[in-house]
Structure formats: C-alpha cells, structure tokens
Amino acid sequence: MFTNVVLGSNDAKRSKQFYDAVLGALGHGEGQMFDPDHVLYMTEGGMLIAGKPRNGEPMTISNGLTIGLRASSKEAVGAAHAAALANGGTCEGPPGPREFARGAEGAYFRDPDGNKFSVYCFTG
C-alpha cells in the first residue's frame, strides 16, 4: 500500500543505530547512509528513510502518527521492542496480546526522536 515512509531525525547516525537494531530484529538488513543526514532502508515492500527535514527546520514529532511494522511471530514482536528500548527508544506499550483483533500480538515504542511505532503479528 505504501511506497515509503520518511521520518524526521535530528541525528541520522543515531537513527541508523536504532533502526538497524529494531529492523534487524524483524529480519531486515542494515540501513545505508545516502548522505551525512539521511539513512535509507529498502525492501521489496517499500522504503523507510530517516533524516533531517529538507526544509532545514528542526525535526518535531507528529501528534497521533503511529507507523506499524510487521513481525513474523510473537517472539519477533518482543525482540523488536527490546531492541528499541536497548537503543534509546521508549516504551509506549509492552509486548502482549491486543484485544481489538483475535490473535493480535503487539507492542508500541518511540524512537530516540519521539516518532511512534507499533510492531504486530497476527496469528489467528
């Protein structure tokens, strides 16, 4: 459905460390710095870019925006959440079942810049 997601970051190297850990826990490869201020993650399903806003203004977080990441298992949900917290992220909801959908296992966290993420697998 989406071609790409671009997230603001005031520190692309810090973002790379964070996303390498979180996305690595979900089975994705290491990001590539495509200039000193931006890191790129590319898969067949799309791209994630984190870096300084192109307008030159400081990055600020969007209220109400949550980006969902797909996990292959409950264990991957937990691993991604743990990687987020170990790499400067903050918890917005620990791993566990979610009542809104049968078989939904999810977790929520923010990256070091304050962008909010969920990570989910659906088992039934």
Total residues belonging to the chain: 124
Burial of 53 (0-12, 13-18, 19+ CB in 10 A): middle
Domains in the chain: ranges and CATH: 4-52+64-122 (3.10.180.10)
Q: What whole-number distance in Å separates Cα of residue 88 and Cα of residue 105? A: 23
Residue 64 confidence (pLDDT): 79
Tokens of 81: 């959440």
Q: What are the tens digits of pLDDT across the range 9-28?
A: 999 999 999 999 999 999 99
Residue 1 has pLDDT above 60, yes or no: no
In 3D, which of 72, 76, 59, 75 has the Cα closest to residue 111? 59
Stretch 73-102: mean pLDDT:
95
**What pTM did the predictor assign?**
0.87
The count of C-alpha atoms lying within 13 angstroms of the C-alpha of 82, restricted to the half-sphere facing its C-beta, is 9
Please state the three-class secondary structure of 52-89 as a single string.
Answer: CCCCCCCCCCCCCCEEEEECCCHHHHHHHHHHHHHCCC
